[in-house]
Amino acid sequence: MSNPPDHDSVTAVLAGVSDPESGRPLTEMGQVRTVTATPAAIAVTVGLTTHAAILWNATRGRIEELLRSRFPAVPAVTVTIEPHERPPGKLGQIGLEAKSVIAVGSGKGGVGKSTIAASLAIGLARAGSRVGLLDADVYGPSVPHLLGLSGRPQVDNGKIMPMRLDIAAGSMPVMSMGFLVPAGEAVVWRGPMLHGAITQMLRDTLWGPLDYLVIDMPPGTGDIALTLSQVLPLTGAVVVCTPQDVALLDATKAIAMFRKVNIPVLGMVENMAFFVCPDTGKRWDIFGSGGARRTAQELDIPFLGEVPIQIPIREHGDAGKTAANYDDPAARPYLEAICTRLVGNLAAATAARPPLPSLPVL
């Protein structure tokens, strides 16, 4: 029979739980707010940052499991999560205030990269993270159409006011060359002009403090990845592809490009993975099956998940309502799983790093 819980024994259990963002024990970062322990009930309140918002429920469940395992005779265990403020630092010479910068790329066009980038940003924002979305596909910006945003951003004191997408958790800043160039007008620029445009949108847009900046990259292996690697430290890249061999060949080249410019590859997403006929329920592997998963395994990078061909996803994108995919019970589980795995992998990688010197509790 285990000893009855008290403040110190419960706190000792919490010391074995890492903060998903920092990787440090919750007890070291001033994130254990309250602990109440009696033979009849345990109640704890911990603070977690919005960077890990999509992991709050999983973290709560893990703490509850650890407490129930350590104190099996206690009938009631309650874990409450509260927001813990930890502002981002400034990244690179441009001074972007963001904790994680994630590029979403592909080896070729037509694989749904922009849809996945927009869905990733929306999913993280809906979970409660502070997210910005930059459409860096200067030649073919599609994010404005996917999100149903239009108009020309205003400039205030030298700062570009981004367009904002209203979602359940608030609003998300969005910036794209599509807001600056008239519809139907082609952008014909050389490399130095691309570099200047991307740098300006990163530096001069009034993003505000962000947990994540998601960057929708142009397809292929062009100049913009090199520009990004030069102007700010990227957390990493997500590569989108479809299952067929020709797409996987190009995706492999994109992965090689990111590695060549020292941008870590955070994982692969297989889009248009399969189609389930709504009339018969039969699954059709129109473009093949499992190619991205196999490629990810061969290249030793995480596989973040698959998204099937679904008519509502296409319809929502065409109508400028990509955010509505999260209201669709058929699409939402696939998209949420990708967001959760991505942030979970970031948390695991942070926890695996060697510990830093102790920081004072603020």
Give the CATH number for residue 18.
3.30.300.130
What is d(CA 347, CA 341) in angstroms, rounded to the nearest whole number? 10
Q: Quick one: what percent of the chain has pLDDT higher than 90?
A: 62
What is d(CA 48, CA 300) in angstroms, rounded to the nearest whole number? 30
Residues 169 and 209 in one domain: yes
Distances (CA, A) of 349 to 22, 112, 152: 10, 27, 39
Please report the pLDDT score of residue 26 as a whole number: 95
What is d(CA 73, CA 361) in angstroms, rounded to the nearest whole number? 33
pLDDT exceeds cutoff 90 at 114: yes
Nearest to 17 by CA among 211, 52, 123: 52
Mean pLDDT, range 149-160, rounded to an integer: 90
Q: Range of 34's domain?
A: 7-83
Residues 248 and 213 in one domain: yes
pLDDT exceeds cutoff 80 at 356: no
Q: Where are any strands of DSSP class E within the chain?
A: 32-37, 41-48, 76-83, 90-91, 96-105, 131-135, 155-156, 159-160, 163-167, 170-176, 210-216, 236-241, 265-271, 275-276, 283-284, 303-307
pLDDT exceeds cutoff 50 at 249: yes
Instruction: Count CB atoms within 10 A of the CB of residue 45.
Output: 15
More confident residue, 219 or 265: 265
What CATH number is associated with residue 261? 3.40.50.300
**Would you say 207 and 132 are in contact if contact means Cβ atoms under 8 Å apart?**
yes
Residues 34 and 65 in one domain: yes
Residues 151 and 75 in one domain: no
- Split into its structural domains, the chain has a count of 2
**Residue 28 burial (10 A CB sphere; 0-12, 13-18, 19+):** middle
Mean pLDDT, range 229-241, rounded to an integer: 91
pLDDT digits (tens, 9 = 90+) for 171-196: 999 999 888 876 666 565 555 677 78
pLDDT digits (tens, 9 = 90+) for 271-320: 998 888 888 889 898 888 888 888 899 999 999 999 999 999 999 999 99
**Would you say 21 and 51 are in contact if contact means Cβ atoms under 8 Å apart?**
yes
What is d(CA 325, CA 333) in angstroms, rounded to the nearest whole number? 10
Number of H helices, E strands in the chain: 10, 16
What is d(CA 131, CA 242) in angstroms, rounded to the nearest whole number? 26
Please report the pLDDT score of residue 210 as a whole number: 97
Please report the pLDDT score of residue 3 as a whole number: 79
pLDDT digits (tens, 9 = 90+) for 333-354: 999 999 999 999 999 999 887 6
- pLDDT averaged over the chain? 89
Please report the pLDDT score of residue 192 as a whole number: 67
Instruction: Count CB atoms within 10 A of the CB of residue 244.
Output: 16
pLDDT classification of 362: cutoffs 50, 70, 90? very low
How many residues make up the chain in this entry? Answer: 362
Residues 165 and 239 in one domain: yes
Q: SS3 of 181, please?
A: coil
Residues 272 and 341 in one domain: yes
Residues 143 and 164 in one domain: yes
Q: Give domain status of residue 245, yes or no.
A: yes
- The sign one gets for the Cα dihedral 201, 202, 204, 205 is positive
Q: Give domain status of residue 2, yes or no.
A: no
Q: Give domain status of residue 77, yes or no.
A: yes
Task: Compute φ and ψ for 73, nearest 5 degrees.
Answer: -85, -10
Q: Give domain status of residue 173, yes or no.
A: yes
pLDDT digits (tens, 9 = 90+) for 127-152: 999 999 999 888 788 999 999 999 99
pTM: 0.92
